[in-house]
Chain A
């Protein structure tokens, strides 16, 4: 008797795009932690997921633009492929209920009626808040000003492929700091990716100001970047 071939799974009939937040202690989840939590939550919520074919079928869930471990976020995105059509808001409520507290569903739309393009094509920029939690901040404003006045700021970061050197300046669209030492940053999603902590590293290296390494990072928004208007469009806006 030969080995049975795995069952072919039904193709998806609907794709739902979801915006969710990573709050409180959930900021310490890694991308893999979140993906496991979502897989279990769709099962608990009995969402009729489409599955991949193969010997180990997995629910068809895709992510784009995930924030790094340690960063909180008000704007993360995931797309669910369903085997049966459901009301977007019903799925959103059920999923929110099934996810751990701190992983909170904020909005759900049907991808057929929302903005065209894949999620990753629609996530081209992010607005970040960086709380240095040290105030008042001597020299912060001057440092930001000096950074913005520079064309290129090389930084190093240890990645899975080893130590990489790259420019962290070009991706910065706007940056401002208030009296409490809180920085607001509009970043373009570039390759290699420039993260808000890379910008902090750049600030530290090129200016005399030294923001702490445990600054609290929060992604406030993520979407379609218009670099000249310095705005982010909602990736879930109606088509």
Chain B
């Protein structure tokens, strides 16, 4: 025993002052963990399982990521597991690593990523794929899974984007669908057993065991064939132990998993300078565009008491004075009123501030916001009607009437808020110019109402617009994505309409991005294995950090797509702006999110019927109107877990 691996820090250190923000590469964050490389040797099983966890974006974005922090902590709690973190290095550091021949390293103990047993990447967005290839290459791990040997880590993808890992099927050894807390431990146990037995059968055998367990999807064990028209003809297991379909993981009883319990506090500045508690997971509002709401079903709440304990523990251990209550729709927690009041009471007069991202357009949220701003802080209020016209909102099943919105903002402005942010999407199915222009009308009415109820003229409204990208496992997975030109034209039309308005134009801020990154995200979201060659080409051509406008190159993606798809009979438009038919085999059909495909299709048809006025169908939230139609609960043997518990938060005892 006595395995060791050398830290690269001594080689790195002389170069740190030549790169920007060197602090992001040195580790040493509060509550970070450095363990002995062979910490498991003395234990019951005599072996150590080692994970390098990566959030494939810059440190400042990756460090606050809750998913990575949770897995890092859950894994490190086991005395036979070492888990360390690594992030995408900026081009200046990449240059240092390549010139000095220093491999991709972890920030915890600066160990080479290639020395670990498992290399797990969490993909919140598909735009991190080129960063994965760069990290693999810097680590000295072959970018193609088929070229790896027993000496290389098993490369695993997780996160929401992993619900369609086909575009990266050539690069990852395995993908994990759903909640990670339990499955990372299961994978660790399988790897431990294999190592303990002396690694029988090498890499192929450990992958076989992982696939056979049903815990992970191993793309190499499935063959994809294509029909003459370019569509998928079939996806068939080529290994007897690979299941026909691979299921997602669902963590039940969130109260039993109160993580992060030791939140990482970086020295460097990051995008989220707060401690966040996930108050529930899943959402059943049924917004048709929302992949997160579809793939994280059912709703599982944390109880008011666990939330209270997690907030107190988190602020004490981190020193953050701002706490965010996270979820997909935070005001929907069954006890949110008591949570808000209880926390506001507990921290009254203390400078601890609370925030509630992701709230719906609902006057009740103003009551909550009032609780959260007792200490006088009035940050902006954000609401997401998503669609500008009533028709559009019915199509996406975001059931907010204009009356609701106006009433909500009236309450906000009359309670002293001066600024309201509204979030919309452009490019939704069946959308016309008129639907998008309604966004401007709505914003004008919001300002008019604000001036009326407050009696002041300094009322502001910021309109943020994102391009709609159809995502797998949603009712819109068959939809045509709006092309770049039309997206940009519509946004220009809207901008001009706002600017031309003398009375309200100056009170309305307008934020949007052009349609180019959206189309590439669309290609990667609904792509199949043929898209992998495009990603590789873009990376070879220097593409990295595609989520950053200053690094993203649309032209490079277009050129690479043309080159990589030549001869396949399909092209960028085929993957993005083409509407799919019912019979088409979708690249992710063999990956089971629990959603019944026929239910998704009927919901898509309902959306189209609502769009042309031939029907008036609203999908209700199954939290309050029991319904098993989407299929998740019966398919996954899960159930909704909600309160109310009837408990209240007691004042904290004085220490």
Contacts and interface: CB of A to CB of B under 8 A. Distances in A.
B376 A55 contact: yes
B512 interface: no
A43 B321 contact: yes
Contacts of B11: none
A56 B322 CA distance: 11
A214 B315 CA distance: 38
A25 B26 contact: yes
B16 A55 contact: no
B267 A37 contact: yes
Interface residues of A, number: 36
A55 B28 contact: no
Interface string B16-32: 11100111011111100
Nearest to A99: B30
Contacts of A1: 414-416
Nearest to B25: A28
B473 to A, nearest CB: 39
B551 interface: no
Interface stretch (A2-10, A138-146, A218-226, A230-238): A2-10
Contacts of A214: 14-15, 17-18
B625 interface: no
B370 to A, nearest CB: 11
Interface residues of B, number: 37
Given A28-B26, A55-B377, A4 B416 contact: yes
A70 B17 contact: yes
Nearest to B352: A43
B614 interface: no
B321 A46 contact: no
Contacts of A128: none
A41 B655 CA distance: 17
Nearest to B416: A3
Interface in A1-24: 1-7
A29 B351 contact: no
Contacts of B273: 36
A39 interface: yes
B318 interface: yes
Contact of A25 (B27, B30, B415): B27
Nearest to B110: A25
A187 B179 CA distance: 57
B378 A30 contact: no
Given A36-B267, A214-B14, A55 B378 contact: yes
A33 B22 CA distance: 11
B319 A32 contact: no
A51 interface: yes
Contacts of B414: 1
Contacts of B9: 25
A7 B17 CA distance: 43
A174 to B, nearest CB: 26
Contacts of B146: none
A90 interface: no
Interface in A48-89: 51, 55-57, 69-70
Contacts of B17: 28, 69-70, 213-214
Nearest to A212: B14
A57 B352 CA distance: 10
Given A7-B376, A33-B267, A33-B268, A44 B316 contact: yes
Contacts of A37: 267
B320 interface: yes
Nearest to B316: A44
Contacts of A4: 376, 416
**From DSSP, what is the main secondary structure of chain A's interface residues?**
loop
A2 B416 contact: yes
Nearest to B353: A56
Given A26-B28, A51-B351, A214-B17, A33 B23 contact: yes
A32 B321 contact: no
A41 B378 CA distance: 26
A29 B319 contact: no
A19 B14 CA distance: 27
Interface string B365-376: 000000000011
Q: Which of B17, B315, B415 has the most CB of A within 10 A?
A: B17
B317 interface: yes
Contacts of A41: 319
Contact of B269 (A32, A55, A102): A32
A40 interface: yes
Interface in A170-224: 213-214
Given A33-B269, A40-B320, A44-B316, A100 B377 contact: no
B265 interface: yes
A3 B378 contact: yes
A121 B416 CA distance: 44
Nearest to A68: B17
Contact of B377 (A32, A36, A56, A98): A56
A69 B376 contact: no
Contacts of A154: none
A156 interface: no
A41 B321 CA distance: 11
Nearest to A28: B22
A5 B28 contact: no
A44 B16 contact: no
Given A36-B267, A214-B15, A214-B18, A100 B318 contact: no
Given A33-B23, A70-B16, A40 B319 contact: yes
Nearest to B31: A100
B117 to A, nearest CB: 26
A100 to B, nearest CB: 5
Nearest to A45: B319
Contacts of A39: 319
Contacts of A33: 23, 267-269
Interface of A: 1-7, 25-26, 28-30, 32-34, 36-37, 39-44, 46, 51, 55-57, 69-70, 98, 100-102, 213-214
20 contacts: A3-B378, A3-B416, A7-B375, A25-B9, A25-B27, A28-B17, A28-B23, A29-B23, A29-B267, A30-B23, A33-B267, A33-B268, A40-B30, A40-B265, A44-B318, A51-B351, A70-B22, A98-B319, A101-B28, A214-B14
Given A30-B21, A32-B269, A70-B17, 13 more contacts: A2-B416, A5-B376, A7-B376, A25-B28, A26-B28, A28-B17, A30-B23, A33-B23, A40-B320, A42-B319, A43-B321, A214-B14, A214-B18
Which 6 A-B pairs give the minimum distances between C-beta atoms? A40-B319, A25-B26, A44-B319, A6-B376, A28-B22, A3-B416
